[in-house]
Structure 1
Amino acid sequence: MEGKVETQIVLTKPLSLDGDSNDEYRAPNMLQRVLSLLKNVPPIFNIPKSQLQFYGESVYCVGDDMLGKCNSKQSPSERITAVVAWSISTLRPMTFGVAPYNPILGETHHVSSGTLNVLLEQISHHPPVSALHATDEKENLELLLCQHPVPKFCGTSIEAEVRGTRQLRLRNHGETYVMNSPNLSIKFFPVPGVEWTGNDRIRCHETDLEAELSYGGKSFLGLRGNPRSIRGKIFKSSSMKPLFEINGHWDKIVTVKDLSSGEVKVIYNSKEAISGLQTPVVKDPKGVWPSESALVWGEVSQGILHKDWVKAREAKKAVEEKQRELSKDRELKGETWAPKHFIVSYSKEGGWDCSPIEKSVPPAPIVVPFNT
């Protein structure tokens, strides 16, 4: 078994660059996996962790200090370039045929990595909406995310549009970077696979700088394009004047070219950023909240890791039935559920939005070990 286990708190290794080819959690049959998309996913098709943990790991499990670099750069152009590199680092290889647990309403995930404290909460179950708040008082930065994946069947694939925005605030510089996320494309034919596709836009109003990134994908026959390619540019928002060109692959190297000088330099190295990532450990078992992902799904994860599918199935059923009972109880009492850590709003025009109740995230009982 991987990770630290304390009173059914189960943590497993994060998805990393080398995890794409060394994955123990592959579905046994593609057709079964396709059929399972039409109903609740049985544990044999689950990776032993929640979707909430996936979102969190993309922020706190990084081999290189990508966020710190955003804050330490001297010029606005250097900082937005560093933000672009950090945004790329949040993409991880996904495995076809398996899926994380769908987080229950009110589920949380609270982890610290050095001085960065990260807190996530599932603020809606139908539809699934996740909120993330991260603060680093030493670096004086803050990250806020409200994410809502919307899947759409497209014949030979499922396109999951990742709605919502991310905001990275560099308080030392008085700058806020607003960005979206590329989409996730799950292809069934002719070659099954999972790819990041679409566009990502990063903008800072305070510096009048903006970046546009385009993520490549294979054609239906797999003959054109590279599924992990990145092309883009950094430009002045007001004049649309291009300043830099971005090229590369998110699972290899990404470079930026200064259009005024012609200088080309590497801004992102995937092996340094997302290889050999450390599994979080429980530092303070008593401090773990009952709503913590690693505890909520602990018995299910244990069953999956031991390939005890009966135990995993029964444990997952117990989690889901408890949620249905809580929902019925609230309905009978006329109560409306509200998140504990976020203020949430929704509108047809703007979609889901959230703001943290507390100004900063406290240190967590679960921590990411330092790389040795």
Structure 2
Amino acid sequence: MVTVEDMGPRPVLTAPLLLEQESDSTYRAPNLLKRVLSLLANVRPGSDLTRFQLPPLFNLPKSQLQCHGESVYCTGGDLLSKCANGETSMERFISVVAWSVSTVRPLMFGVAPYNPILGETHHVSRGTLNVLLEQVSHHPPVSALHATDEKDNIEMTWCHYPVPKFYGTHIETEVNGRRQLKLLNKEETYEMNSPKLVIRLFPMLGVDWLGTVTIKCEETGIAAELHYRGNSFFPRPGIHRSIKGRIFMTSSSSKTIYEISGHWDRTVTAKDLNTGKSKIIYDAKEALSGVKTPIVKDSQQGIWRTESTVVWGDVSQAILNKSWDKAKEAKSAIEERERERVKERKSQGQNWVPKHFTVSYSKENGWDCLPIQKSVPPAPIVAPF
């Protein structure tokens, strides 16, 4: 039996999803809308799409693990350093709000990344920031992230558990799980969630991030509520991709200190209610424009055979070449190998154990993913400045 460990390390690296790629047709198959509607024709409203397998025609040439990782290491500005080096707790909190906004990226209608296979990893470095992701569960799909920066004394852990459902006129994905950003030298931990991903089919096509994101720091008593909004039926530029929210003190009757407003794909502003002054805390064009495609900097270091860009390399290359039959064949081979691995473990009475994370689940708290190692090592794949 051929497993993911037996596959040769042939990474296929693709450009990150950034603002200017919103209207890019590079990855789009012909007659995409017609194909999407045909694909969903037999899906009942309210259905859980977690196990739904997309043909390569509807895939981006990258894994969901890569998309999660890109939101951390693909930025033009050094937003994380600002979080760590702010002089006051409020300055640091405002920088964390800006960084949280930066992790939201535009997605193209009709295409989606691959569902990661069990044990798949994605390991990339950018400067002193090292990022590692692992798919720690397949059914249900759970992705874990660990990132460390020894220079800025930063540690980050994510546990993502998406649940997509079809509602007839739209697909709504609840992104469950917890995000933590730790500023170790300040002894501050910021905990936050993710907005929902909504794909609209009627009355107008579109992909939006919607819902409420909360950010809390227990050590300082500062919190934020960010409401992500979008168009419902008719285009309204003032609402499209907008953010409305506030920063407040949890220990002072939730008194609002700053009002947050703007658009996550343009600029976001914080208004100090004590002074009446406003300042731009996030500029999407500055943060996300001109970010380069990751490269293999040290091939001698060794790329893991579980690396996303290796596991899906043949599929991605076929999609980039628009060779849909080859893409389908390569993707089917990966899925068949996974089915064989599941059967083999079941026949031997073995349970799969993640390599880089300790995973637990409870009805009260959901999934939790704790990194086994204290820090993430540098990666042979590097995101250039």
Q: TM-score range by the shorter chain?
A: over 0.9
Q: SS of the counterpart of 2:17?
A: coil
Q: CA deviation at 1:234?
A: 0.3
Select the residue among 11, 18, 22 that pairs with 2:13. Answer: 11
Distance in 2, matches of 1:363 and 1:216, equals: 37
Does the aligned pair in 1 maintain the 2:120–2:307 contact within 8 Å?
yes
Counterparts of residues 182-221 of structure 1 (less than 5 Å): 182-221=195-234
Distance in 2, matches of 1:23 and 1:86, equals: 28
Q: CA deviation at 1:222?
A: 4.1
Does the aligned pair in 2 maintain the 1:216–1:225 contact within 8 Å?
no
Quick one: which amino acid aligns to residue 61 of structure 1?
Answer: C
Does the aligned pair in 2 maintain the 1:231–1:248 contact within 8 Å?
yes
Q: CA deviation at 1:293?
A: 0.1
Structure 1 residue 273 corresponds to structure 2 residue 275 = no
Select the residue among 278, 283, 295 that pairs with 2:297. Answer: 283
Does the aligned pair in 1 maintain the 2:314–2:330 contact within 8 Å?
yes
Unaligned runs of 5+ in 1: 1-5
Deviations 1:271-307 (CA, angstroms, capped at 9, x unpaired): 1111121100112335100100000000001111111
Quick one: which amino acid aligns to residue 114 of structure 2?
Answer: Y
Distance in 2, matches of 1:195 and 1:25, equals: 19
Q: SS of the counterpart of 1:126?
A: coil
Select the residue among 240, 244, 247 that pairs with 1:227. Answer: 240
Specify the alignment match of 1:36 in structure 2.
39
Quick one: which amino acid aligns to residue 26 of structure 2?
Answer: E
Does the aligned pair in 1 maintain the 2:204–2:233 contact within 8 Å?
no
Q: CA deviation at 1:151?
A: 1.2
Deviations 1:16-48 (CA, angstroms, capped at 9, x unpaired): 011112241124321312443555211111110
Q: CA deviation at 1:342?
A: 0.3
Counterparts of residues 1-372 of structure 1 (less than 5 Å): 8-28=10-30, 29-36=32-39, 39-222=52-235, 226-239=239-252, 240-286=254-300, 287-370=302-385
TM-score computed with the length of structure 1 as normaliser: 0.95
Distance in 1, matches of 2:369 and 2:235, equals: 39
Q: CA deviation at 1:167?
A: 0.2
Does the aligned pair in 2 maintain the 1:218–1:225 contact within 8 Å?
no
Distance in 2, matches of 1:323 and 1:344, equals: 20
Distance in 2, matches of 1:121 and 1:33, equals: 29
Does the aligned pair in 1 maintain the 2:118–2:135 contact within 8 Å?
yes
Distance in 1, matches of 2:192 and 2:64, equals: 20
**Alpha-carbon spacing, 1:224–1:277, altered in 2? closer, same or farther (3 Å):** closer
Number of matched residues?
A: 365
Quick one: which amino acid aligns to residue 145 of structure 1?
Answer: W
Unaligned runs of 5+ in 2: 1-7, 44-51
Quick one: which amino acid aligns to residue 156 of structure 1?
Answer: T
Q: SS of the counterpart of 2:146?
A: strand
**Alpha-carbon spacing, 1:27–1:221, altered in 2? closer, same or farther (3 Å):** farther
Answer with 57-66 or 302-311: which moved more.
302-311
Q: CA deviation at 1:223?
A: 5.5
Quick one: which amino acid aligns to residue 110 of structure 2?
Answer: G
TM-score computed with the length of structure 2 as normaliser: 0.92
Q: SS of the counterpart of 1:10?
A: coil
Deviations 1:201-232 (CA, angstroms, capped at 9, x unpaired): 00000000000000012123445962300011
Distance in 2, matches of 1:368 and 1:223, equals: 36
Distance in 1, matches of 2:236 and 2:292, equals: 36
Does the aligned pair in 2 maintain the 1:197–1:227 contact within 8 Å?
no
Does the aligned pair in 1 maintain the 2:23–2:108 contact within 8 Å?
no
Does the aligned pair in 2 maintain the 1:158–1:185 contact within 8 Å?
yes
Amino-acid identity (%)? 61
Q: SS of the counterpart of 1:178?
A: strand
Quick one: which amino acid aligns to residue 294 of structure 1?
Answer: T
When the two chains are superposed, the root-mean-square deviation of aligned CA atoms in Å is 1.4
Answer with 310-319 or 357-366: which moved more.
310-319
Answer with 16-25 or 57-66: which moved more.
16-25
Distance in 2, matches of 1:137 and 1:68, equals: 11
Quick one: which amino acid aligns to residue 144 of structure 1?
Answer: T
Answer with 276-285 or 184-193: which moved more.
276-285
Distance in 2, matches of 1:269 and 1:184, equals: 22
Q: SS of the counterpart of 1:9?
A: coil
Quick one: which amino acid aligns to residue 263 of structure 2?
Answer: H
Distance in 1, matches of 2:372 and 2:155, equals: 14
